[in-house]
Amino acid sequence: MDQILGQVLRNAVWERLDMLADLANRADTDSLVSVARSELPRLTEGWRAMLQAHEPDERGDCPTCSTRWHRCKAPCSVWQVAHEHLVAGGLAPQQDLRRPWHRGKSAVPGQSRAAKPAHGETTGRHALIPQVATH
């Protein structure tokens, strides 16, 4: 049941991001202003909440990315991706902003962000996207 709920949640998030990207690429100016006013505060709060969960602890480790057996030093991949997209975006090479690392290579070298579909996940648009092999 948790796998099904997780897939529904992931699909909803990917579809929302797809919709926002489509609006950014196709909407008229008045619609863009309206969407920006409603969505930018939500997106910034989402980034803040996610980054707060990845704030380094007193040892300089990311408490979310670290495990009992492997400590992840800050800045973790979440902070690196945040910096790349929010701060260095104008300096970074241009890429397709519609799920640039979805089912593919991570924006952070050496780390795969590809998620394997859970056993039995055969529904939902994003569950059916074939996985890209990463080396």
Amino acid (1-letter code) at residue 36: A
* Average confidence score pLDDT of the chain: 77
**What is the pLDDT at residue 127?**
47
Is the torsion defined by CA of 94, 64, 130, 122 positive or negative? negative
**What is the pLDDT at residue 66?**
96
Would you state the structure tokens that stand for residue 103, as one six-digit string? Answer: 């089912």
pTM for the predicted model, two decimal places: 0.62
70-99: pLDDT as tens digits: 999 999 999 999 999 999 976 655 555 444
**What is the pLDDT at residue 93?**
53
109 or 48, which is more confident: 48
